[in-house]
Amino acid sequence: MSEPTTTSLADRLRAHFGDRVSNVTERLGQTTVEVQPAHWLEIARALRDEPQFHFEQLIDLCGVDYLGYGEDEWATSEEATSEGFSRGVEGAAGPGRFSWSTRPRHEQQLRRFASVTHLLSLKNNVRLRVRCFAPENALPVIPSVTGIWPVADWFEREAFDLYGIIYEGHSDLRRILTDYGFVGHPFRKDFPLIGNVEVRYDPEAQRVVYEPVASVSPRVLVARVVREDSRFSTARGEAADDWKDN
Protein backbone atom coordinates (compact mmCIF):
# COMPACT_ATOMS: atom_id res chain seq x y z
CA MET A 1 0.00 0.00 0.00
CA SER A 2 1.39 3.41 -0.93
CA GLU A 3 1.94 6.02 1.73
CA PRO A 4 -0.72 8.71 2.09
CA THR A 5 -0.01 11.95 0.31
CA THR A 6 -0.38 13.83 3.59
CA THR A 7 2.87 12.30 4.90
CA SER A 8 5.53 14.99 5.03
CA LEU A 9 8.78 14.65 3.11
CA ALA A 10 10.72 14.59 6.38
CA ASP A 11 8.66 11.66 7.68
CA ARG A 12 9.08 9.76 4.42
CA LEU A 13 12.85 10.27 4.54
CA ARG A 14 13.07 8.99 8.11
CA ALA A 15 10.85 5.98 7.35
CA HIS A 16 12.68 4.99 4.16
CA PHE A 17 16.32 5.56 5.13
CA GLY A 18 16.23 5.05 8.89
CA ASP A 19 19.56 5.67 10.63
CA ARG A 20 21.32 6.26 7.31
CA VAL A 21 20.12 9.87 7.52
CA SER A 22 20.23 12.28 10.44
CA ASN A 23 19.18 15.80 11.40
CA VAL A 24 16.08 15.74 9.20
CA THR A 25 14.53 19.17 9.72
CA GLU A 26 11.83 21.35 8.20
CA ARG A 27 12.29 25.09 8.48
CA LEU A 28 10.73 27.92 6.50
CA GLY A 29 9.18 25.42 4.11
CA GLN A 30 12.53 23.77 3.32
CA THR A 31 13.43 20.18 4.24
CA THR A 32 17.06 19.47 5.06
CA VAL A 33 18.66 16.08 5.63
CA GLU A 34 22.22 15.12 6.56
CA VAL A 35 23.88 11.97 5.20
CA GLN A 36 27.22 10.29 5.79
CA PRO A 37 29.68 10.01 2.86
CA ALA A 38 29.53 6.19 3.06
CA HIS A 39 25.79 6.26 2.26
CA TRP A 40 25.65 9.34 0.03
CA LEU A 41 25.69 7.64 -3.39
CA GLU A 42 23.21 4.96 -2.31
CA ILE A 43 20.83 7.56 -0.91
CA ALA A 44 21.30 9.85 -3.93
CA ARG A 45 20.23 7.07 -6.32
CA ALA A 46 17.21 6.31 -4.19
CA LEU A 47 16.25 9.98 -4.08
CA ARG A 48 16.40 10.07 -7.87
CA ASP A 49 14.75 6.72 -8.68
CA GLU A 50 12.21 6.00 -5.92
CA PRO A 51 8.72 7.14 -7.03
CA GLN A 52 7.92 8.63 -3.61
CA PHE A 53 10.93 10.98 -3.96
CA HIS A 54 11.71 11.27 -7.71
CA PHE A 55 14.28 14.08 -7.37
CA GLU A 56 15.24 13.93 -11.02
CA GLN A 57 16.87 17.38 -11.11
CA LEU A 58 19.89 18.74 -9.26
CA ILE A 59 19.44 22.50 -8.93
CA ASP A 60 22.62 23.47 -7.12
CA LEU A 61 25.64 22.07 -5.31
CA CYS A 62 28.08 24.09 -3.25
CA GLY A 63 30.73 23.80 -0.57
CA VAL A 64 30.45 25.21 2.94
CA ASP A 65 33.20 25.94 5.45
CA TYR A 66 31.82 25.73 9.00
CA LEU A 67 34.98 27.09 10.62
CA GLY A 68 33.83 29.39 13.41
CA TYR A 69 30.20 28.32 12.99
CA GLY A 70 28.02 29.58 15.84
CA GLU A 71 30.61 32.06 17.08
CA ASP A 72 29.58 35.70 17.38
CA GLU A 73 31.11 38.89 18.64
CA TRP A 74 28.14 41.18 19.26
CA ALA A 75 25.14 40.57 21.47
CA THR A 76 22.48 38.55 19.68
CA SER A 77 18.74 39.22 19.61
CA GLU A 78 18.30 37.14 22.78
CA GLU A 79 20.85 39.02 24.91
CA ALA A 80 20.66 42.48 23.38
CA THR A 81 19.06 45.30 25.33
CA SER A 82 16.69 47.91 23.94
CA GLU A 83 19.65 50.29 23.67
CA GLY A 84 20.78 49.12 20.28
CA PHE A 85 23.81 51.40 20.06
CA SER A 86 25.57 49.45 22.82
CA ARG A 87 25.66 46.40 20.57
CA GLY A 88 28.17 48.21 18.35
CA VAL A 89 30.27 49.49 21.26
CA GLU A 90 30.59 46.56 23.61
CA GLY A 91 31.14 43.14 22.13
CA ALA A 92 30.34 39.82 23.73
CA ALA A 93 33.95 39.63 24.97
CA GLY A 94 33.68 43.06 26.62
CA PRO A 95 34.29 46.65 25.55
CA GLY A 96 36.94 47.50 23.02
CA ARG A 97 37.89 46.44 19.50
CA PHE A 98 37.42 42.93 18.17
CA SER A 99 40.26 40.53 18.90
CA TRP A 100 40.65 37.02 17.50
CA SER A 101 42.43 35.90 20.68
CA THR A 102 39.51 36.88 22.96
CA ARG A 103 36.56 36.20 20.66
CA PRO A 104 33.78 33.99 22.09
CA ARG A 105 34.01 30.31 21.22
CA HIS A 106 31.06 28.13 20.35
CA GLU A 107 30.73 25.04 22.54
CA GLN A 108 29.69 22.77 19.68
CA GLN A 109 32.63 21.55 17.60
CA LEU A 110 31.28 20.77 14.14
CA ARG A 111 32.98 19.06 11.25
CA ARG A 112 34.38 21.75 9.05
CA PHE A 113 33.66 21.09 5.36
CA ALA A 114 30.35 20.03 3.83
CA SER A 115 28.90 19.64 0.37
CA VAL A 116 25.32 20.90 0.16
CA THR A 117 23.07 19.71 -2.67
CA HIS A 118 19.68 21.17 -3.62
CA LEU A 119 17.32 18.78 -5.40
CA LEU A 120 14.00 19.34 -7.18
CA SER A 121 11.22 16.87 -7.91
CA LEU A 122 9.13 18.19 -10.77
CA LYS A 123 6.81 15.20 -10.48
CA ASN A 124 6.05 15.77 -6.78
CA ASN A 125 6.59 19.55 -6.76
CA VAL A 126 8.96 19.47 -3.78
CA ARG A 127 12.53 20.51 -3.01
CA LEU A 128 15.16 18.97 -0.75
CA ARG A 129 18.47 20.13 0.68
CA VAL A 130 21.04 17.40 1.39
CA ARG A 131 24.15 18.09 3.46
CA CYS A 132 27.13 15.73 3.43
CA PHE A 133 30.05 16.45 5.76
CA ALA A 134 33.58 15.36 4.85
CA PRO A 135 34.95 13.06 7.58
CA GLU A 136 38.39 14.73 7.55
CA ASN A 137 39.18 18.44 7.80
CA ALA A 138 42.77 18.29 6.55
CA LEU A 139 41.78 16.53 3.32
CA PRO A 140 38.00 16.75 2.81
CA VAL A 141 36.81 13.95 0.52
CA ILE A 142 33.18 13.40 -0.54
CA PRO A 143 31.84 11.05 -3.25
CA SER A 144 30.98 12.69 -6.57
CA VAL A 145 27.36 12.54 -7.74
CA THR A 146 28.17 13.24 -11.40
CA GLY A 147 27.26 9.64 -12.21
CA ILE A 148 23.76 10.25 -10.84
CA TRP A 149 23.19 13.89 -11.83
CA PRO A 150 25.70 14.77 -14.58
CA VAL A 151 24.90 18.48 -14.14
CA ALA A 152 26.91 18.37 -10.89
CA ASP A 153 30.13 18.38 -12.95
CA TRP A 154 30.93 22.10 -12.88
CA PHE A 155 29.34 22.61 -9.45
CA GLU A 156 31.77 20.11 -7.92
CA ARG A 157 34.69 21.68 -9.75
CA GLU A 158 33.70 25.05 -8.29
CA ALA A 159 33.49 23.65 -4.74
CA PHE A 160 36.89 21.99 -5.24
CA ASP A 161 38.39 25.24 -6.49
CA LEU A 162 36.97 27.53 -3.80
CA TYR A 163 36.90 25.20 -0.77
CA GLY A 164 39.37 22.40 -1.57
CA ILE A 165 36.75 19.64 -1.28
CA ILE A 166 37.84 16.52 -3.19
CA TYR A 167 34.98 14.84 -5.03
CA GLU A 168 36.03 11.22 -5.34
CA GLY A 169 35.06 9.72 -8.69
CA HIS A 170 34.87 13.02 -10.58
CA SER A 171 36.34 12.51 -14.06
CA ASP A 172 37.85 15.98 -14.49
CA LEU A 173 38.35 17.62 -11.10
CA ARG A 174 40.37 20.79 -11.69
CA ARG A 175 40.09 24.50 -11.00
CA ILE A 176 37.34 26.38 -12.81
CA LEU A 177 37.40 29.98 -11.50
CA THR A 178 40.94 30.69 -10.29
CA ASP A 179 44.20 30.50 -12.22
CA TYR A 180 45.76 27.07 -12.77
CA GLY A 181 48.75 28.14 -10.69
CA PHE A 182 46.62 29.56 -7.87
CA VAL A 183 47.69 28.50 -4.38
CA GLY A 184 44.99 27.88 -1.76
CA HIS A 185 41.20 28.01 -1.79
CA PRO A 186 39.76 31.54 -1.51
CA PHE A 187 36.40 30.69 0.11
CA ARG A 188 37.95 28.97 3.10
CA LYS A 189 37.39 31.09 6.17
CA ASP A 190 41.07 31.01 7.09
CA PHE A 191 42.15 32.28 3.66
CA PRO A 192 43.54 35.85 3.97
CA LEU A 193 41.06 38.46 2.72
CA ILE A 194 43.81 40.25 0.81
CA GLY A 195 45.07 37.02 -0.74
CA ASN A 196 48.60 35.68 -0.74
CA VAL A 197 49.99 37.29 -3.88
CA GLU A 198 49.19 40.17 -6.18
CA VAL A 199 49.67 40.32 -9.92
CA ARG A 200 51.07 43.17 -11.97
CA TYR A 201 52.71 43.75 -15.33
CA ASP A 202 56.44 44.46 -15.08
CA PRO A 203 57.42 46.79 -17.96
CA GLU A 204 61.12 46.01 -17.52
CA ALA A 205 60.66 42.25 -17.58
CA GLN A 206 57.83 42.67 -20.11
CA ARG A 207 55.73 40.01 -18.44
CA VAL A 208 53.18 39.47 -15.67
CA VAL A 209 54.80 38.91 -12.28
CA TYR A 210 53.45 37.54 -9.00
CA GLU A 211 54.56 39.23 -5.78
CA PRO A 212 53.61 39.12 -2.09
CA VAL A 213 50.72 41.46 -1.31
CA ALA A 214 52.08 44.89 -0.40
CA SER A 215 49.51 47.41 -1.64
CA VAL A 216 46.57 46.25 0.52
CA SER A 217 46.30 46.45 4.31
CA PRO A 218 44.74 43.40 6.04
CA ARG A 219 41.40 43.86 7.81
CA VAL A 220 39.42 41.75 10.24
CA LEU A 221 35.73 41.39 9.47
CA VAL A 222 33.37 39.91 12.04
CA ALA A 223 30.74 37.64 10.55
CA ARG A 224 27.15 38.73 11.04
CA VAL A 225 25.06 36.89 13.59
CA VAL A 226 22.31 34.72 12.10
CA ARG A 227 18.95 36.01 13.31
CA GLU A 228 15.34 35.21 12.57
CA ASP A 229 14.14 37.18 9.54
CA SER A 230 11.01 39.12 10.50
CA ARG A 231 9.78 38.97 6.91
CA PHE A 232 9.02 35.25 7.26
CA SER A 233 7.04 35.62 10.48
CA THR A 234 5.11 38.54 8.96
CA ALA A 235 4.33 36.51 5.83
CA ARG A 236 3.16 33.56 7.92
CA GLY A 237 0.89 35.84 9.96
CA GLU A 238 -0.61 37.41 6.86
CA ALA A 239 -1.18 34.00 5.29
CA ALA A 240 -2.96 32.81 8.44
CA ASP A 241 -5.19 35.90 8.44
CA ASP A 242 -6.07 35.40 4.77
CA TRP A 243 -6.96 31.77 5.45
CA LYS A 244 -9.27 32.75 8.31
CA ASP A 245 -10.96 35.41 6.19
CA ASN A 246 -11.63 32.93 3.39
CA distance to 15, 47, 49, 160, 198, per residue, from 54 (Å)? 16, 6, 6, 27, 47
DSSP E strand stretches across 28-145? 30-35, 57-65, 90-91, 94-95, 113-121, 126-133, 141-143
**Amino acid letter for position 188:** R
**On the CB side of 129, how many CA atoms lie within 13 Å of its CA?**
16
Q: What local confidence, expressed as pLDDT, does residue 224 receive?
A: 56
Classify the C-alpha dihedral 61-66-67-68 as positive or negative.
positive
CATH of 9-71+106-190, one of 3.40.50.20, 3.40.50.2300, 1.10.3720.10, 3.30.460.80: 3.30.460.80
* Residue-by-residue pLDDT tens, the chain, 246 positions: 344 456 899 999 999 999 999 999 998 889 999 999 999 999 999 999 999 999 999 999 999 998 877 766 555 555 555 555 444 445 555 554 555 555 555 555 568 999 999 999 999 999 999 999 999 999 999 999 999 999 999 999 999 999 999 999 999 999 999 987 788 999 998 888 777 788 889 899 899 888 888 777 766 555 555 566 667 677 777 777 777 666
DSSP 8-state assignment for residue 165: -
**Res 94: pLDDT:** 53
Ordered by start, the domain boundaries in the chain are: 9-71+106-190
Backbone angles phi, psi at 115, to 5 degrees: -110, 125
